[in-house]
Homo-oligomer: A and B are copies of this chain.
Amino acid sequence: MSTLFQPFATQLDFETGKLNPKGKVIIRHLSDMKGMYLDEGEFENQLKKNPLIYEVYNVVVPETMPHIQHCVTILHPGKVGKEYFMTKGHYHEVLDRAEIYFCLKGKGELLMQTKDGEFSSLEMVPGTVAYVAPEWAHRTVNTGEEPFVFFAAYPGDAGHDYGGIETEGFVKALVEQNDKPTYIENPRYIQAVK
């Protein structure tokens, strides 16, 4: 056998969205998202139960350019006050790296923004293949009643920059108004210092 990296397979369960083997698992509860939801009183209130917000199952490959990182995210349904459960969101550490989000189950919205404060969003339903273009931060929001499951792929060397988005916040927030997902300006948003 050569010294080359060897091919392998992972099995995704379309019912649960989980991978076998599980790979590198990231689990985020509400307590991992301090300062990210608009309604701080409701945030504190829900912390007692500290609900599971999302799970990410990452297939493990080297974080270098010849490779393709890939993972599946299960974003659970729920709200903090009027604001839907969401992921933290991030830029790529190597900023100009794209990503694909392929919705397998449930429904949601993909929120994206640039360091210049440009904002864009895409609706995701099963079969939607969303293209997060290079340089766009990305966050997903579950606007449905069941888990929102999507598969993602991105260049091996992209990395994650969560800190930028923690400082800035997202330009817009997604809340329920009149029983419908509605975008509102995020009063806490601060444009990135370039």
Contact = CB atoms under 8 A, between A and B. Distances in A.
Interface string A146-190: 000001011110000000000000000000000000000000000
Q: How many copies does the complex hold?
A: 2
B136 A98 contact: no
Interface string A89-113: 0000000111110100000001010
Interface in A41-85: 59, 61, 65-68, 70
B7 A136 contact: yes
A38 interface: no
Given A11-B129, A128-B11, A135 B59 contact: no
A79 B164 CA distance: 54
Nearest to A125: B11
Contacts of A114: 2, 4
A19 B110 CA distance: 19
Contacts of A10: 128-129, 131
Given A127-B11, A132-B7, A133-B5, A68 B151 contact: no
Interface of A: 1-2, 4-14, 19, 59, 61, 65-68, 70, 96-100, 102, 110, 112, 114, 116, 118, 120, 122-124, 126-136, 151, 153-156
